[in-house]
Structure 1
Amino acid sequence: MTHPFDSVLVANRGEIAVRIIRSAQAAGYRTIAVYSEADEDAPHVALADEAVLIGPAPVKESYLNPQRILDAAARSGAEAIHPGYGFLSENAAFAAACVDAGLVFIGPSAEAIELMGNKAAAKRRMLEARVPCIPGYQSADQSDDALIAAARDMGMPIMVKAAAGGGGRGMRLVTAMADFPGALASARSEAENAFGSGELILEKAVTQPRHVEVQVFGDAHGNVIHLGERDCSVQRRHQKVVEEAPCPVMNPELRAAMGIAAVAAAQSIDYVGAGTVEFLLDSEEQFYFLEMNTRLQVEHPVTELVTGLDLVDLQLHVAQGGRLPCGQEDVHLRGHAMEVRLYAEDTVNDFLPASGRALAWEPPSGVGIRVDHGLFPGQMVSPFYDPMIAKIIAFGDDRDTARRRLLRALKNTVLFGITSNREFLIDVLERESFARGEATTAFIEEEFPEGVSTSIPGEDDLCLAALLHYLQGEEQGLEGRVFDDALLNGTTGARVMESIFSYTVNEELRSLSVLPLGDDRFDIALGDTRRELLLVDSARDGQLRVAMDGLQRDVAYCFMDQGTLALQSRGRMFVLANELALSAADGDREGSGAVLAPMHGNLLTLRVAVGDKVSRGDELAVMEAMKMEHRLLAQIDGVVTAIHGVEGEQMSAGAVVLDIEAEEEAGAETKRD
């Protein structure tokens, strides 16, 4: 349904809500935000003209509750709803409910959403429209026997996919027939938990393809065009890491062919609004339909930068019933754009989602740089929502300029207090294969076969940390400082105090001394090495310009707990604790059999009960955090003696989920009894 409207409710949060609100306000619309109790002070709430509280933090009680969104629209007098992406954006029932309530749903019809939201039905429609598709199985018979028989006929390798969803959930790559039944069971279970449907499809796996998607746009008058392609090949667990436009290996003939296929896909379902048709592109320039996303994509900014179009403004125009303001012949791609997703996640701990307070947040800026975010310094990053903090985008006249600008922007991005993937993104952009434009969907696996390692602070970093801790001590007085009273100034007789600081690096204690020389100059000794540091500029809070032996550099920092600081120099960040300022640490519980929650999240399932015997590696429980499932495994052999968590309840990071008594201890107890 389309009709004129003057007000827009954004049924989303975070950076996408901010981005939509800004375009809507620029076009003169009254904007209404919705927010949960956890988002009361969020930037999207402050930016909107009005904001409506829709419930507690859990998404099912707020952002994923259609009735609360509709009630907010009624209370605020909103005439249209923009769903953003995620949450209810591809919920056909919600789109229909908006129309039934007399609201304009800024997106395609409920029928189009429903059809393309089911991979099996979508693939059948694409085959009818003669869009190239991967050979596979998408029939209604979902019995294990039927799926196993289809897999045997297709041959390995095979992708098992949830028919009702995306984002990598309910997806498994199977390379051996013996592993197929287990992959079916786990994919079906994850699909049911994530999407409420266990329906699966099978597809022949295309090895090491590129993931290339085409942006399409349609209006209510039957006009459909495409706005070029994006390469989203750099992925981890089917979640996109880097996106760019145009695709590095694209040529005019291939672009035209993929564009024609994408437009045919959209026309076959009478598509209205912004959508994305995703393809796999092999090394022989053969491409195959993957899925269609019936919403605005996370990576839409790169298309905006190379086309000069505001896709949200175009969505608003089409939703009013307007015709597309341009034809296919008017679409021209200029330059190159590249985007990365900055996530709150622990890259060295299997990329587990992270949460916490942003003690410092300074997004980058500069020529060709765009940052879409919904974060302010001091804000809590909640475990209830997707862990994406920001999208950092760079534009240049050519691909390498865009890459260099993005790399520099990441190195200048300051985020303290929250573990993030910033340095991992830097490592990705610096890899030679990526710089050459050779990345396929196998890039992460090939370039990081041993996983992601953490940076180790060098001597320069330790010297900077000691200087910062010294300066902190100067501001706070002499409390907590350690001095060598034997150092005396030989000319005046005045006492000169040398401060000592110690840091643990790779389990080795490194001690440094800081001696002030006057005029913002300091002598720092680390073993037999001595450095002279000069404070060039310290006017900005959290930022220093320091000359080390005559070489100037910028340093970002943030003091955290007692004796601990976060330090960032040359793009690398370290958290360093001055051991001399810390009290004796409590003994850890390693080996005690305590199973701890690795992140804030929902205890989805308990697999064991008190009294059960378990072996090292057994699955004990499943937690869900930021839309991902995480298995908790036994680290020792033994017996479950206590369960502290309750299924369906939230648990804090570090909370004890259950206790296991080691097998030897349990045996000893039995003998004593």
Structure 2
Amino acid sequence: MFDKILIANRGEIACRVIATCRRLGIATVAVYSDADRDARHVRLADEAIHIGPAAAAESYLRGEVILQAAQRSGAQAIHPGYGFLSENAGFAQACAQAGIVFIGPPVSAIQAMGDKSAAKALMQRAGVPLTPGYHGDNQDPAFLREQADAIGYPVLIKASAGGGGKGMRKVERSADFIEALAGCQREAQSAFGNPHVLVEKYVERPRHIEIQVFGDAHGNVVHLFERDCSVQRRHQKVLEEAPAPGMTAERRAAMGKAATDAARAVGYVGAGTVEFIAGPGGDFYFMEMNTRLQVEHPVTELVTGTDLVEWQLRVAAGQPLPKSQEQLALNGHAIEARLYAEDADRGFLPSTGTLRHLRLPSNDAHVRVDAGVEQGDAITPYYDPMIAKLIVWDVDRDAALRRMQAALADCEIAGVTTNVAFLSRLVRTGSFANARLDTALIEREQPALQPQAMDEAGWQLAALAAVLQSPAPAVDPLDPHSPWAASDGWRIGGPAWRQLELEHGGQRRRLRLRALGGAWEIELDGQRSTATCQAQGPHRRVCMDGRQLQLRVLRDGPRLHLFGHDGGRPFLLHDAIAEADHPPVEQGGLAAPMPGRVVALPVVPGSRVTRGQPLVVLEAMKMEHSLSAPADGVLRAYRVAEGELVAEGAALVEFEAD
């Protein structure tokens, strides 16, 4: 086994590898960019080395700098995590030439599976079922559209050199193909340095099922069963679970054999994932092989009782696999949810900022949290906006689903917009609860996934919380009982009303409150309620009109967060005086919702546009985001140019609505 390894990654996977190494008595070396100088993985490692500026291309993607860091630290091996250089054959080759072990598959396997087109041909020779499509080298747009027309719509355009939903588009008709192709190629070039794509038949109502495989240098190859990763948005996974619901023993055996055949065909060593598209009739087709550990590997660990990172280390050190196929068995059910800093109600736009408050469930036998951040850390525009992975286990799927619902309700995050509320709604949809899974589940369940309007009690609770969390008046130490130190609204002739204006979900409401002895009277739209409140540690127990609730309240400047059994609810407290001094920005424009790079300006200035028509394509956090016209009107001018880097809130266009 190794004495010291360097982890060429960041975030939760770096923290996870450090934890396993610590358990095995292996020293760890972290690497970090300018943006990660105080990151959690840096704080946890035994040693850390700076590798460059914040941009990944100037730090985590610079293999020669990372290799120098490994040599400088005396590390015997490099764990690449996932993403960045984890599937870079050139980096793996450089490690071998430097005499440092690359904790991953052989260079030949990375090369064979790194090009999806070449991988398809290899799998065809190995007898692995393939989706009909074009996987060749001709990248002429007109030719590719001809291939798509011949395959029949819908088709899927996919980047040959990568994964994670980047460089991927579903195309419904021939007229949309060229524009979708251009977007895929731009995204693929940006993310993987290679614009090459392939075109495949889009399987209707598909499920995304992947098989975890593992090989060693002694010729042994096993699979650790399957994961269902069908719940996706923009081809990126949102929820994963193991085992796949409805999987028969016969189908599991057939898919497991196909996956291990694929691994043997390339002489695979280490952890890998063979991904399949499965049709509703039981048919399945090879999609790609990821020559690394996957983000969703914890669900496999929980249902098989294994530590796949430990397996990686042992296999890379030349040891045989810890278990044979006959020794592996499934136990219970596990579900993983990815907690992201993103706004699910605005097209999953990434959110940046400081985690002013972060409270996640405690790890126990049923709940596991893999996090790369702590309270006070920042979510920056430079990297994937994942906050943590929330994984639950129980004896069966129904029990695991209840665990996940409770665990999501226990998440308290403030400082950035998150997808926690969206995930809570998602796991309660009829499709997911009843395991009616396919990759269109989120689109199909859109009505159930929309945020619900706040009820009257919610507004009243928020108003009460705002008053109770207001900054206390200064107290004179020489006169602690001064009436001027009281904030209960006492006046001669009766308590005074306090007026508040709150905003939630784009809706603003005005409320009034006044203290009545030990209680509060709250008025909304002429209707009054009476509430009492008692502090219980970090929580407040509120009794309002006979209904008792336990809440945790966080006040962050004008922002107010209420956390209860049904999750978190953010509010904005408006200050009428301050807003009168600072009127809103000029209307008629389109602002950047996040920092990013302008990659396309698809409309000629002066043109008429319709509501929802893309006006600007912005690249942020490795993905392209289309910003659309808010209404029918005329695009008067662009205020930015293609290739320009823009800050959050920057004006992008001049737009005149009808």
Same fold, TM exceeding 0.5? Answer: yes
Structure 2 equivalent of residue 106 of structure 1: 103
Residues 648 and 270 of structure 1: CA distance in aligned 2, closer, same or farther (over 3 Å)? farther
1:379 equivalenced with 2:385 (yes/no) = no
Displacement after TM superposition at 1:570 (Å): 2.9
Contact 1:167 1:239 in 2 (8 A): yes
Contact 1:457 1:574 in 2 (8 A): no
**Cα distance in 2 between the residues matched to 1:508 and 1:121:** 56
**Cα distance in 2 between the residues matched to 1:661 and 1:622:** 16
Residues 292 and 265 of structure 1: CA distance in aligned 2, closer, same or farther (over 3 Å)? same
Structure 1 equivalent of residue 517 of structure 2: 517
Select which of 151, 154, 158 maps to 2:155. Answer: 158
Structure 2 equivalent of residue 547 of structure 1: 543
Displacement after TM superposition at 1:196 (Å): 2.0
Contact 1:246 1:337 in 2 (8 A): yes
**Cα distance in 2 between the residues matched to 1:525 and 1:158:** 56
1:602 equivalenced with 2:589 (yes/no) = no
Structure 2 equivalent of residue 419 of structure 1: 417
DSSP-derived class of the 1:316 partner: helix
Structure 2 equivalent of residue 491 of structure 1: none
For residue 61 of structure 1, what is the amino acid of its counterpart? E
Residues 623 and 176 of structure 1: CA distance in aligned 2, closer, same or farther (over 3 Å)? closer
DSSP-derived class of the 1:108 partner: coil
Displacement after TM superposition at 1:504 (Å): 4.6
Residues 638 and 202 of structure 1: CA distance in aligned 2, closer, same or farther (over 3 Å)? closer
Contact 1:383 1:626 in 2 (8 A): yes
Displacement after TM superposition at 1:216 (Å): 0.3
Contact 1:620 1:633 in 2 (8 A): yes
For residue 387 of structure 1, what is the amino acid of its counterpart? P
Contact 1:639 1:661 in 2 (8 A): yes
For residue 550 of structure 2, what is the amino acid of its counterpart? D
Q: What are the superposed Cα offsets for residues 153-180 of structure 1, whole Å, 9 maximum, x if unpaired?
A: 3222221211111122222222223333
Displacement after TM superposition at 1:582 (Å): 5.4
Q: Sequence identity, in percent?
A: 46
**Cα distance in 2 between the residues matched to 1:158 and 1:661:** 34
Structure 2 equivalent of residue 181 of structure 1: 178
Structure 1 equivalent of residue 257 of structure 2: 260
1:433 equivalenced with 2:431 (yes/no) = yes
1:630 equivalenced with 2:630 (yes/no) = no
Select which of 572, 581, 602 maps to 1:577. Answer: 572
Structure 2 equivalent of residue 397 of structure 1: 395
Residues 522 and 144 of structure 1: CA distance in aligned 2, closer, same or farther (over 3 Å)? closer
Q: What are the superposed Cα offsets for residues 573-626 of structure 1, whole Å, 9 maximum, x if unpaired?
A: 33323445752253334543x3321112233456689xx534436755432111
**Cα distance in 1 between the residues matched to 2:88 and 2:403:** 37
Structure 2 equivalent of residue 533 of structure 1: 532
**Cα distance in 2 between the residues matched to 1:579 and 1:173:** 42
Contact 2:409 2:568 in 1 (8 A): no
**Cα distance in 2 between the residues matched to 1:513 and 1:569:** 22
Q: What are the superposed Cα offsets for residues 298-345 of structure 1, whole Å, 9 maximum, x if unpaired?
A: 000000000000000010000000001211000000000000001110
Displacement after TM superposition at 1:569 (Å): 2.4
Which is further off, 619-628 or 33-42? 619-628
1:326 equivalenced with 2:323 (yes/no) = yes
Residues 468 and 144 of structure 1: CA distance in aligned 2, closer, same or farther (over 3 Å)? closer
**Cα distance in 2 between the residues matched to 1:517 and 1:324:** 70
Displacement after TM superposition at 1:511 (Å): 1.2
Contact 2:594 2:648 in 1 (8 A): yes
Displacement after TM superposition at 1:487 (Å): 4.4
**Cα distance in 2 between the residues matched to 1:497 and 1:162:** 65
Select which of 650, 655, 658 maps to 2:650. Answer: 655
Structure 1 equivalent of residue 562 of structure 2: 567
Structure 2 equivalent of residue 671 of structure 1: none
DSSP-derived class of the 1:584 partner: helix
Displacement after TM superposition at 1:392 (Å): 0.3
Contact 2:591 2:649 in 1 (8 A): yes
Structure 1 equivalent of residue 606 of structure 2: 613
**Cα distance in 2 between the residues matched to 1:110 and 1:507:** 55
Q: What are the superposed Cα offsets for residues 38-65 of structure 1, whole Å, 9 maximum, x if unpaired?
A: 1111111110000111111111111111
Residues 38 and 474 of structure 1: CA distance in aligned 2, closer, same or farther (over 3 Å)? closer
Which is further off, 172-181 or 126-135? 172-181
Residues 606 and 69 of structure 1: CA distance in aligned 2, closer, same or farther (over 3 Å)? farther
Contact 1:473 1:480 in 2 (8 A): no
Which is further off, 163-172 or 325-334? 163-172
Residues 648 and 219 of structure 1: CA distance in aligned 2, closer, same or farther (over 3 Å)? farther
**Cα distance in 2 between the residues matched to 1:475 and 1:211:** 54
**Cα distance in 1 between the residues matched to 2:268 and 2:291:** 9
Displacement after TM superposition at 1:480 (Å): 12
1:149 equivalenced with 2:115 (yes/no) = no
Q: What are the superposed Cα offsets for residues 467-502 of structure 1, whole Å, 9 maximum, x if unpaired?
A: 3222234633579979473543xxxxxxx5554433
Aligned ranges 1:288-367 → 2 under 5 Å: 288-365=285-362, 367=365
Structure 2 equivalent of residue 118 of structure 1: 115
Residues 522 and 92 of structure 1: CA distance in aligned 2, closer, same or farther (over 3 Å)? same
Displacement after TM superposition at 1:515 (Å): 1.0
Displacement after TM superposition at 1:648 (Å): 4.8
DSSP-derived class of the 1:340 partner: strand
Residues 645 and 45 of structure 1: CA distance in aligned 2, closer, same or farther (over 3 Å)? farther
**Cα distance in 2 between the residues matched to 1:50 and 1:12:** 14
**Cα distance in 2 between the residues matched to 1:620 and 1:446:** 26
Contact 1:639 1:663 in 2 (8 A): no
Contact 1:559 1:565 in 2 (8 A): yes
**Cα distance in 2 between the residues matched to 1:81 and 1:482:** 61
For residue 302 of structure 1, what is the amino acid of its counterpart? V
Residues 396 and 234 of structure 1: CA distance in aligned 2, closer, same or farther (over 3 Å)? same
Residues 469 and 157 of structure 1: CA distance in aligned 2, closer, same or farther (over 3 Å)? closer
DSSP-derived class of the 2:517 partner: strand
DSSP-derived class of the 1:430 partner: coil
**Cα distance in 2 between the residues matched to 1:269 and 1:317:** 20
Contact 2:488 2:515 in 1 (8 A): no
Q: What are the superposed Cα offsets for residues 385-420 of structure 1, whole Å, 9 maximum, x if unpaired?
A: 101111000000000111110111001100011101
Displacement after TM superposition at 1:190 (Å): 2.6
**Cα distance in 1 between the residues matched to 2:43 and 2:648:** 29
Structure 1 equivalent of residue 226 of structure 2: 229
Residues 96 and 468 of structure 1: CA distance in aligned 2, closer, same or farther (over 3 Å)? same
Contact 1:18 1:43 in 2 (8 A): yes
Displacement after TM superposition at 1:660 (Å): 2.7
**Cα distance in 1 between the residues matched to 2:92 and 2:651:** 41
Displacement after TM superposition at 1:638 (Å): 4.6
Displacement after TM superposition at 1:646 (Å): 7.6
**What TM-score do you get using the length of structure 1 for normalisation?**
0.90
**What TM-score do you get using the length of structure 2 for normalisation?**
0.92
Residues 416 and 270 of structure 1: CA distance in aligned 2, closer, same or farther (over 3 Å)? same
**Cα distance in 1 between the residues matched to 2:572 and 2:143:** 58
**5+ residue gaps, structure 2:** 475-483
Contact 1:603 1:645 in 2 (8 A): yes
Contact 1:81 1:104 in 2 (8 A): yes
Structure 1 equivalent of residue 501 of structure 2: 502
**Cα distance in 2 between the residues matched to 1:99 and 1:615:** 58
**Cα distance in 2 between the residues matched to 1:32 and 1:479:** 54
**Cα distance in 1 between the residues matched to 2:17 and 2:577:** 46
Displacement after TM superposition at 1:281 (Å): 1.2
Residues 194 and 504 of structure 1: CA distance in aligned 2, closer, same or farther (over 3 Å)? closer
**Cα distance in 1 between the residues matched to 2:121 and 2:76:** 35
DSSP-derived class of the 1:348 partner: helix
**Cα distance in 2 between the residues matched to 1:14 and 1:133:** 34
Residues 149 and 603 of structure 1: CA distance in aligned 2, closer, same or farther (over 3 Å)? closer
Residues 451 and 89 of structure 1: CA distance in aligned 2, closer, same or farther (over 3 Å)? farther
Structure 2 equivalent of residue 442 of structure 1: 440
Pairs aligned (count): 641
Q: What are the superposed Cα offsets for residues 214-235 of structure 1, whole Å, 9 maximum, x if unpaired?
A: 0000001110000010000111
Structure 2 equivalent of residue 557 of structure 1: 553
Displacement after TM superposition at 1:572 (Å): 3.7
Displacement after TM superposition at 1:516 (Å): 4.7
Structure 2 equivalent of residue 667 of structure 1: none
Contact 1:517 1:523 in 2 (8 A): no
